[in-house]
Every structure is written in C-alpha cells, then in structure tokens.
Amino acid sequence: MEAMTSVLLQEIRGMREEMREFKDEVASWRQDNGERLVKVETVVKPALMTNGQPSQISLIDNRVSALEKSWTRVVAVGAAVWALITLASHWIPWGRH
C-alpha cells in the first residue's frame, strides 16, 4: 500500500510540475501576443481612427477614387480619338478599303 501511495504521490508531483511548465508557457505566450498587439495597434489604429482629421485609410480611399476617375477619362478620350481616326481614315481617299 505504501508503494502505491508513493507512486501516486510521485505522479501527482509530476503533473504539478507539468502544470507549472504549462502555466509558464501560457504566460510567455500571452506576453508575446500582448507585445505584438501593441505594435499592431500603434500602426493600425492611427490609420483607422483620428482626432478630427481624415485618417490615412480615408486619404488612400480618396486617392484611389481619383485614380479610377482619371483612368476612366483616359480610356474615354482614347476611345474617342480611336473612333475619330477610324472615321477619318474612311473619308481620306488613301484610307479606303
């Protein structure tokens, strides 16, 4: 009976040691993730939220919208010029098919 008690006691001590190691690993993991979260918040938070001025995300969104509008204008002007050249080539004698 005494041997069984010492075996159980030894197993319980082993489990306690494993739980301490697990607790230390979890604490280390929480510390690492907390530090990473702070780094991410210092970069992302100013981009999303501001104190009355436009945020970086809204400024980027405005710039992308302006580029899209410019691209639409360029394509429309290019198509119009191409259509004019095509029509002119049919009216010029050397351009007839």
Which sequence spans correspond to the domains of the chain? 1-49, 57-97
pLDDT the model gives residue 19: 95
pTM over 0.85: no
State the residue for tokens 């509008």. Answer: 69
What is the band of 41 on the pLDDT scale with cuts at 50, 70, 90?
confident
Structure tokens at 65: 């919208």
Cα angle value 7/10/14 (rounded, 5°): 135
Distances in Å between the Cα of 19 and the Cα atoms of 13, 15, 25, 26, 44 are: 10, 6, 10, 10, 36
What is the band of 3 on the pLDDT scale with cuts at 50, 70, 90?
confident
pLDDT the model gives residue 77: 95
What is the average per-residue pLDDT within 28-52?
Answer: 84
Instruction: Count helices and strands (H / E) in the chain.
Output: 2, 0
Instruction: Report DSSP state, residue 56.
Output: H
